[in-house]
Structure 1
Amino acid sequence: MFSYVFGSASTYFYPPIEEDEDLFDDDFIPPNTRHISWVSDATDTADSSPPSPSPAAGPSKPRERPPSVHAKTRAVINDILAQDDCYAVLGISRSSQIDKLTLRRAYLARSRACHPDKFPDNPEATRAFQKVSVAYDILSKPSSKRMYDSRSTQAPFDFFASRSFQAEETFRGVVIGVINDMLDGDLEMVRTLLFAVNNMNPSLQLGEEGINSVLMTIEAIRTRALTCRTCLFALHHQVSRLLEVQRAFRQLSYFDLRQRSYLSIQLARLAISMPIALEEALRQQRMEDEAESEASDNEESKDQTQLLNRRVYTLLRGVVSVLERMEGLVKK
């Protein structure tokens, strides 16, 4: 039944590598990431979460964050602002060699707590976001990292003196970089799993044409993210999940086929969920814009898709639902 899945699990991923153990919890691989939400960081540690209200049901009031989440977020921002070392700002250990994946994970994890779009009226969050971006820029380039490592550790490092940087461009580069790596390295695995889904669920009527439509839609999100700030922000959460799944996969033994299959399915689901996340983010943005301009509110407008046509949107949601069921079966 899962021959495609087990075959792809040992074919399309990279061999295990040694990575920083402190950035993420090893046991955390969320099985249900259908909706993108910046409402609470508590969702990052939950095994599952109820689906967000459908946009067709009309705009809803933002959920308030629990006090503990507020305190946790403030603590992260305060910690970033209190540090004067690039490694400490990113929350990683000082090392002569840091791989790209570790730096990206650290950057996305820290920027998730302080991105200006998440806290539009908080200057401290904006300053922390800029500081995280400077630290990433320095440590991600071998030449600047060597210069930084060779400096005296006695004098505090000034993150803002005589530096011309664009924090949003750094953010865009990291998110797009993760998407590019996924498209270059994992898209064939996604194709294989889609054929498995098609064979196991004839009622879905996916077919080769549908599979190609799904893959083309995934590839199209890169172009959309390059030109759309709302899309880029929505993908932040999703690409963080992708990196966590890849890290967990690389730590597995080659003989642990069940867990490798489980993570393969999860990575495919996350990739296929990206266009859905963008669609919902754009739809929500449109509804907010209409509310601000006091536009007429009718059912046809609410049901209108922004990025995907209705058939592809329905197809993607169906595939994600099937992959979720497959995850549950493989995990048991």
Structure 2
Amino acid sequence: MFSYVFGSASTYFHLPIEEDEDEDDFIPSSTRHISWASPDTTLVDCDTIPSSIPSSTSSQSQPGSSKPRELHSQGPSAKNKAVINEILAQDDCYAVLGISRSTRIDKLTLRRAYLARSKSCHPDKFPDNPEATRAFQKVSVAYDILSKPSSKRMYDSRPTQAPFDFFASRTFQAEETFRGVVIGVINDMLDGDLEMIRTLLFAVNNMNPSLQLGEEGINSVLMTLQAIRTRALTCRTCIHALHNEVSRLLEAQRAFRQLSYFDLRRRSHLMIHIARLTISMPIALEEALRQQKQEDYGKDALRDNQTALLNRRIYALLRGVVSVLERMEGLVKK
């Protein structure tokens, strides 16, 4: 069973490689993709979202229906302060993102760098820190320039010694860039990895009959993954939870891409790991929303086993699948 799963599923990974594309290549081109909101779109409070997930347009919360949330810490840690200071001290787009200058940069590398940098300086984490806000804007400008072939070519043609003014004559849309990158990673994952995940889920079902997954359960898991991108990205809490998850996913994809095709054991281990990270995304959103509700309304805000986003059956099903995948990871890693 393991050999069948590993042999068939390892061909399904979608690892986006940068081609010489048009500037709007990062904008989803299919209607089954979600696009990020325009700069004047309000991120709504997740309390307005129903507790189950039928995938329909009615599930969208109405903009302006509630006050936007802000997730923040008491202040930047020493590590985050060092990153913020490093970003502010740089006047080169590549240095701001912490990557090497190159004529070609693939999307995976660029997105990994952007998410890592933005995690250390996002204004919602440090709302009273203007330096974090400026660092976040610089990271977004650098990403916007290097992610578009035409602007990258123009930037690369500048003298390397010439300082670059990140704040001159620019309309900042840093939050739009942030949401766009997170959504882009999720779109790529759902377009490229769902068949691999389906294959693994059938293997999990065959090896663990007590889980009672079945074809209906497998379809429910896949539908939840597809619906969550539309439902969850309407609130700040969900965006920050997904930020962490997609960062881990990109790290795993990078490690997978660097392996030899004949390194079957490690490829198998990372394949299962990527599937587990993907299936864990709705769980991460559920737990983030539960924590937010309890912080806002007290520990009794969610009574008994009430869920904040997923219905109980799907939540239990996802937790069971993740537990089985964790055990599979351990077996393959030994």
Give yes or no for TM over 0.5: yes
Offset from partner CA, 1:125-169 (integer Å, 9 cap, x none): 111111100100011011111111112333311111110121110
- Specify every segment of 5 or more residues in structure 2 that has no aligned partner in the other structure, as ranges: 19-72
How far does residue 17 in structure 1 lie from its aligned partner after superposition?
Answer: 7.9
Match of 1:57 in 2: none
Match of 1:76 in 2: 83
Offset from partner CA, 1:154-209 (integer Å, 9 cap, x none): 33111111101211100000000000000011110000000111011111000000
How far does residue 9 in structure 1 lie from its aligned partner after superposition?
Answer: 4.2
Give yes or no for the alignment of 1:148 onto 2:137.
no
CA contact (8 A) 2:15 2:108 kept: no
The residue correspondences of 1:1-332 to structure 2 (distance < 5 A) are 1-13=1-13, 70-291=77-298, 298=300, 301=303, 303-332=305-334
Query: Normalising by structure 1, what TM-score?
Result: 0.80
- Specify every segment of 5 or more residues in structure 1 that has no aligned partner in the other structure, as ranges: 19-63, 292-296
RMSD after superposition: 2.3
Letter in 2 for 1:102: T
How far does residue 110 in structure 1 lie from its aligned partner after superposition?
Answer: 0.7
Offset from partner CA, 1:255-276 (integer Å, 9 cap, x none): 1111111111001100100000
Following TM superposition, the consecutive aligned residue runs of length 4 or more in structure 1 with deviations greater than 4 angstroms are: 14-18
The structure-2 alpha-carbon separation of the partners of 1:161 and 1:127, relative to structure 1 and needing over 3 Å to count, comes to same
Separation in 2 of the partners of 1:137 and 1:221?
26
CA contact (8 A) 1:5 1:265 kept: no
Match of 2:60 in 1: none
- Of 142-151 and 231-240, deviating more is 142-151
Separation in 2 of the partners of 1:16 and 1:134?
22
SS in 1 for 2:233: helix
The structure-2 alpha-carbon separation of the partners of 1:324 and 1:234, relative to structure 1 and needing over 3 Å to count, comes to same
Separation in 2 of the partners of 1:275 and 1:240?
15
How far does residue 2 in structure 1 lie from its aligned partner after superposition?
Answer: 1.3
SS in 2 for 1:113: helix
CA contact (8 A) 2:197 2:275 kept: yes
How far does residue 221 in structure 1 lie from its aligned partner after superposition?
Answer: 1.6
SS in 1 for 2:126: coil
CA contact (8 A) 2:17 2:108 kept: no
How far does residue 288 in structure 1 lie from its aligned partner after superposition?
Answer: 2.1
Separation in 2 of the partners of 1:16 and 1:138?
19
CA contact (8 A) 2:276 2:322 kept: yes
Separation in 2 of the partners of 1:90 and 1:323?
34
The structure-2 alpha-carbon separation of the partners of 1:300 and 1:160, relative to structure 1 and needing over 3 Å to count, comes to closer
How far does residue 87 in structure 1 lie from its aligned partner after superposition?
Answer: 0.5
Letter in 1 for 2:328: M
Query: Normalising by structure 2, what TM-score?
Result: 0.79
State the identity %: 84
Separation in 1 of the partners of 2:15 and 2:230?
30
Separation in 2 of the partners of 1:128 and 1:83?
10
Separation in 2 of the partners of 1:245 and 1:266?
8
Separation in 2 of the partners of 1:257 and 1:9?
12
SS in 2 for 1:305: coil
CA contact (8 A) 1:10 1:254 kept: no
CA contact (8 A) 2:14 2:188 kept: no
Letter in 1 for 2:272: I
How far does residue 302 in structure 1 lie from its aligned partner after superposition?
Answer: 6.1
How far does residue 233 in structure 1 lie from its aligned partner after superposition?
Answer: 1.0
The structure-2 alpha-carbon separation of the partners of 1:298 and 1:237, relative to structure 1 and needing over 3 Å to count, comes to closer
CA contact (8 A) 2:12 2:195 kept: yes
The structure-2 alpha-carbon separation of the partners of 1:143 and 1:245, relative to structure 1 and needing over 3 Å to count, comes to same
